[in-house]
Structure formats: structure tokens, C-alpha cells
Amino acid sequence: DSLLVEIVISVFCVLASINFILYHYVVTGKASYLLKDIELRVFIIIMVLATLVCTLGLVLQSDNSFGEALRESFFQVVSMATTSGYTRSPYIIWPTVCQFTLLTLMFIGGCAASTSGSIKVIRVIVLFKLIWRGCIKRMHPRSVVAVKVGGNAISAPVVSQITVFILLYMMIFLMSSFLMSFQGLDMETTITATLAMLSNTGAAFGEAAALGNFSMFHPLIKIYLSALMIIGRLELFTIIILFTRNFW
């Protein structure tokens, strides 16, 4: 129950979730790259908007004052967005809009080339730009529309790799949630526990959050959850390739 401790933890969680290449630019006297980096700007915007949504939800649907709601929301949003997994309040009893916001942050994660897990902000940016390009191509079939990030066009192979990664991530998430359902727990616990492992957040909802651990799961499921943590940490493809014939 220390505001100073929470601020220190939050600041370093955010610093660890920023692309480490940007630190190289700062050290070499190119700090202006920080302001130009679209991923960093989007990452900050996402956390600010999520904090405002959670603060508003807590103020309107609970007895929290604005200051208390802002403090709790900021810390929990930073924790989920950076996939750090810290908690300071019982977020499982927060309003549904707050829980949904935190769940979305667990899917997105932090920036590329950082210590954070999950899909990463840059991939989400490219995904939305790809969807927008699809809309433009529907209206103007003969147009040539490049997917650009920060004013630079991204090559088709890179866009393809990002698309495949996101599809693979969702496929593993759905398949793992199905396997977890054999435990017989409620939907909330099953889905969020799977995401908590795959994203390396470690903070779930439902019974896992109520107990504060994953002890209720069957030993075989615990082994699978351990594998999910490794897969999520190694960005999926590293592990998937190990099971292909061409690799061997």
C-alpha cells in the first residue's frame, strides 16, 4: 500500500516493454527517434485510453473516488499491458468493462524487441492497416495500396509473416482453451488461464485469480500450461519449427 512503490514498479514495467532499439538511439544522441516511433506512441495511447476506461468504470459502478479509481486503474493497466502480471487490488470484482479492457491488453502486449509477451503492438498496428487496405481495395480494386508504418512501406513477405503469426497465435489460444476445458472449470477461468500462460502475463480471472495460483489444475494440464509459457515466450515459431520434418 505504497504509492511510491507502485509508481516505481509501473515506470520500470513500461520501460522494459519499450523496443530496446530505441534506447540505443537515445544513447547515441538520436533521442528524436522516440517521438517518431509509431509503435511507442500507439502503446502509450493504448495505456492512457485503457486507464481512462477503467477509471470511469470504477467511478460509475463502485464506491471508489476518482483518485482511488485512477490509482488502481493505472497500476493494473500497466501491469496487463506490459504482461508483468502484478496486482494490487481484486480486479476480478471490477466492472465487466474494466475486466474486458484488461483482457484486451493481455492479447496486445507491449512493443517488439522488449521483455513483454503476447502479440505485440506493432503487429496489431499492421493488422489494422491491413484491414483498412482491404476496405480500400474493395472500393478501388485496381488501386495499389501499400501497408505503411511510420511513413515506410512494409514488404509483402513481412506483412505475410505478421498475419501468419497472429492467426497461429489465435489458433493455439483456441486449441489450448479447448484442451483446458476438460478440467471442467467455468469459461472465464478456462479462457483467461490459457491467455495468462500464452501471453506470459500470469494473471488470470475466475478461480485462478481467486486462489492466486493455478493449483486446482490437473498435473497433465499443468505440464501443458508450462509448455504454453515456453511457446509464448519464444514467439511461437521457434517451438513449432521443432516439430516439422524439414527442420530435422
pLDDT tens-place string over residues 172-231: 999 999 999 999 999 999 999 999 999 999 999 999 988 888 999 999 999 999 999 999
* pLDDT recorded at residue 169: 96
Residue 65: strand, helix, or coil:
coil
At residue 235 the predicted structure's pLDDT band, cuts being 50, 70 and 90, is confident
* pLDDT recorded at residue 80: 96
In sequence order, the β-bridge partners of residue 153 are 148
pLDDT (average), residues 62-72: 91
Residue 153: strand, helix, or coil:
strand
Q: Residue 17 in contact with residue 116, Cβ under 8 Å?
A: yes
Residue 66: half-sphere exposure toward Cβ, Cα within 13 Å = 1
Single pTM value for the model: 0.93
Q: Residue 197 in contact with residue 232, Cβ under 8 Å?
A: yes
